[in-house]
Structure 1
C-alpha cells in the first residue's frame, strides 16, 4: 500500500524521465523536441524607408501617406466644381465692378449739372462745388443706382435712377437677352437712366416746410402753377410699347415734326402745345443724344387707367429716359439732361393756354370721369338690386314657413303660374 502512494506522490519525476526517452525515440517529433520558444525580431527601419515611415516599431505601409493612396485623377469631379465656382465668382466680381464703374462715370459727367441746378444732390447734406461726385449717387443693388435732388425754384424734388445690365450674373443676363430677342413684349436688358421731376405746381405752401429761408418759395405759389396736359417726344421704336403700357400717352395723337430726327415723333393733345414746347434747343439736344434717346414726357395723368375718382386727380411730372453708351462718353447726352432740368421754369412761364385748347384737353379727362361715375352708379344699382332680392326671398321663405303643407302647395302652384305668365308675355313681346 505504501508503495502505491509512493508511486503516485513521489514517482512523478520517474514517470517523466522515463517518458522522455520514449518521446525522443519517436522519429516524428524529433525536429521539434528541443525547439526554443518563438521570439519576435525587433523592427529596424532602413534608410530607404525612413522618410514618411510609420512610427518606430510598426511595419511600413502606404496607408500612412495620403499622397501614395490617392492621385489627382481621383479628385477630377471636385476639381471641375471648384473651377466652375471660381469662374462664377470671377465673373460676378468683374460684372459688379463694371456696373460701379459705369455709375461712377455717369455721375462724374453729370454731377456738375445737378449741383448747379439743385441746392441738395444725393442723400446727405447740401451740395457744394467741391463735392465728390461719387457721394451724389447711392447703390440700391448691384444693377440699380439712384440719386435725389431738391432745393430749386418751381421743382419740389427730382428722382433719378440708373438701371444697368446684370453683368454680375451672365446666365440671367443671357436668358433676359434671349427672351427680349424672341418675345416682343419683353424688353432686352439695357443700361438706361430714368429722370422724374415733380414740379411745385403752386403747392409750395403744402410741400415746403415752415423753416427760415422757405418764405420766398411759399410766396411764389401763383407763379409756379401751370395748366395740365400730356405731351411727349418718343423714339419710334418705343412708341407702340409706351402707348400700350401708359394710359396718359394713349389719349394723345401722334404726328411727326420736321424739327426732330426721323426716328422720333411727337405725341400730343394739341398742336398748340407742340408749338410751345418743341423748341430748337430741345430738338438739337435730342439730335445730339442720337438713337439712345427713348422719351421725354410731360404729363398730368396716371400711368394706369383710373378706376376710382381719387385716381383722376392730376399729378404733374416730367419724365426723361435715355440709354447709356457702352463707351461711357456722355458729351452728347449732357445737354438733354440740362434742358430737362430747366423745363419746370418753361412750364411755369408758358404752360397757360387758350380756353379752346384747354376745353379740348379737358374733354378726355371729363369723359374718363363720367365713365368712372357711370361704373360706380351701375355697381351701386347692382348692390341695391341684390339687397331687394335678398329681402324678397326672406319674405317668401317666412310666408311659406307659416303655412301648412296644403297651403304651401297652393302657394307654390300660384307662384309657378305667375312665372309662366311672365315668360309667355315676354315671348309675345319679342315676337
Structure 2
C-alpha cells in the first residue's frame, strides 16, 4: 500500500499556484477569470493538435479527390468497354480500388490507387526525409491497371515489359516474374524506355501485333508512364508448384497518378490498352522460341517443386524434433516427482540402454 501511495505521489502533477501579483492580459466574467499568459505551453500544444487534425483532414480529402476525379474522367471509357464497371471502394485513406468485369478477352480489370499517406503526418514526414538519405527511394502516387486475361486472350506463355528507365531498379526488386527477362534497348521505342523480354522474338511479336511505340511518343503519356507488362507468371515467387487452374495471365499497366486538376491526361493510354489486349492473340512466335519458353517454365517448376519438397521435409523434421522434446520434458517431469531411490533406478536403466545402443552401432 505504501508503494502505491509513493507511485501516485510521483505521477500526480504539482498543484497550480496562482501568483499573487499579475499585471498581464486578463479576461473576467462573473466568477470566471482567464489569464492567457499562464497558459503559454497549452497554447502550443493545442496549436500542434489542431495542426495535426487539419493535416489529416486535408490529406484525406486530397487523396479521395484525386482518386474520385480520375474515375469520373475515365468512367465513360470503362462503361463503354465493360458491362459491369463499379465505383471506388476504399481501404483506409490512401488505397482505392475499382473493379470492372464483362468484356471480351478480359476476365476483370482492377484499378488500384496506392497514394502517399497524406493523412498521416508522421508517415508522410518519414517518406519525405528518407528521400534525402536514400537517393533510390522515390515515393509516388501509384495507379495500377491490372487486366486479368481470359483463356485464349494471350496466344503464348511469356513475360514481357516496357519500362521507364527511372523505374528499372524498383521493378526488378518488386516483381519476381520479371526476373525471367533480360533488359535491352529497342530502336522502335523512345530512348526513355527499356524493354524487358525473355527473347527478342517475343518483343518483335508484341510490337508487330500492336504499335505501342506510337502511344509512348505522346509526351503526356511519357510523363506518367511507369511500366507495362504482359505475364503468365505470378508477381511473387510461389512456395509450391501451381495447379493448372491457378495459372493466370495478366497485362499490368503502372502509371503515376495524375493530379486531380488534370485527371483525364491518362485517358489516351488507358483507351489504348483495350486494343492492345485484343491484339495479344495475334502475337506470332517462331517454333524454336516456343520450345525455349516451354523449357524455361518446366525448369522453373522443377526448381520450385524441389524447394517445396525440401521445405516440407524440414518442417516435418522440426515437428518431429518438437514432439521428441515435448516427450522428453514430460518424462523429466515424471522422474522429478519420484523418490531419490526411484530416480537412481531410472537413471541406471537409461545408462545401460545407452551402452547397448553404442555397442550395437559398433557391431555394425
Partner Cα separation in structure 1 for residue 211 and residue 359 of structure 2: 83
Task: Give yes or no for the alignment of 1:305 onto 2:237.
Answer: yes
The offset of 1:159, in angstroms, is 0.6
Do the aligned partners of 2:69 and 2:260 also contact (CA within 8 Å) in 1? no
Partner Cα separation in structure 2 for residue 232 and residue 337 of structure 1: 16
The offset of 1:322, in angstroms, is 0.7
Do the aligned partners of 1:173 and 1:189 also contact (CA within 8 Å) in 2? no
Partner Cα separation in structure 2 for residue 262 and residue 361 of structure 1: 28
- Cross-structure match for 2:166: 237
Do the aligned partners of 1:302 and 1:311 also contact (CA within 8 Å) in 2? no
| Alignment deviations for residues 49-107 of structure 1 (CA, whole Å, 9 cap, x no partner) | xxxxxxxxxxxxxx99445x542212323332222222222222222222222223212
Structure 1 length normalisation: TM-score?
0.62
Q: How does 1:148-167 map to 2 (within 5 A)?
A: 148-167=99-118
Task: Give yes or no for the alignment of 1:79 onto 2:43.
Answer: yes
Residue 261 of structure 2 aligns to a residue whose secondary structure is coil
Q: 1:409 to 1:331 in 2, by over 3 A?
A: closer
The offset of 1:237, in angstroms, is 2.0
Q: 1:410 to 1:235 in 2, by over 3 A?
A: closer
Residue 242 of structure 2 aligns to a residue whose secondary structure is helix
Do the aligned partners of 1:154 and 1:345 also contact (CA within 8 Å) in 2? yes
Partner Cα separation in structure 1 for residue 355 and residue 260 of structure 2: 90
Task: Give yes or no for the alignment of 1:314 onto 2:243.
Answer: no
Do the aligned partners of 1:307 and 1:372 also contact (CA within 8 Å) in 2? yes
Do the aligned partners of 2:113 and 2:144 also contact (CA within 8 Å) in 1? yes
Structure with the larger RCO, 1 or 2 (CA within 8 Å, 6+ apart): 2
- Cross-structure match for 2:266: 333
Count of residue pairs the alignment pairs up: 306
Partner Cα separation in structure 2 for residue 72 and residue 85 of structure 1: 18
The offset of 1:337, in angstroms, is 1.0
Over the aligned positions, Cα root-mean-square deviation in angstroms equals 3.5
State which structure, 1 or 2, has the greater radius of gyration over its C-alpha atoms. 1
Partner Cα separation in structure 2 for residue 294 and residue 413 of structure 1: 67
Residue 368 of structure 1 aligns to a residue whose secondary structure is helix
- Cross-structure match for 2:215: 285
Partner Cα separation in structure 2 for residue 379 and residue 178 of structure 1: 40
Do the aligned partners of 1:235 and 1:291 also contact (CA within 8 Å) in 2? no
Partner Cα separation in structure 2 for residue 229 and residue 73 of structure 1: 72
Please identify, of 264-273 and 303-312, the stretch whose mean Cα deviation from structure 2 is larger.
303-312
Residue 152 of structure 1 aligns to a residue whose secondary structure is coil
- Cross-structure match for 1:117: 81
Structure 2 length normalisation: TM-score?
0.72
Paired residue for 1:104, among 59, 68, 79? 68
The offset of 1:148, in angstroms, is 1.0
Q: How does 1:9-408 map to 2 (within 5 A)?
A: 65-67=30-32, 69-122=33-86, 136-183=87-134, 187-202=137-152, 224=153, 226-278=155-207, 281-288=211-218, 289-310=221-242, 314-326=247-259, 328-348=261-281, 350-375=282-307
Partner Cα separation in structure 2 for residue 352 and residue 417 of structure 1: 67
Partner Cα separation in structure 1 for residue 308 and residue 301 of structure 2: 11
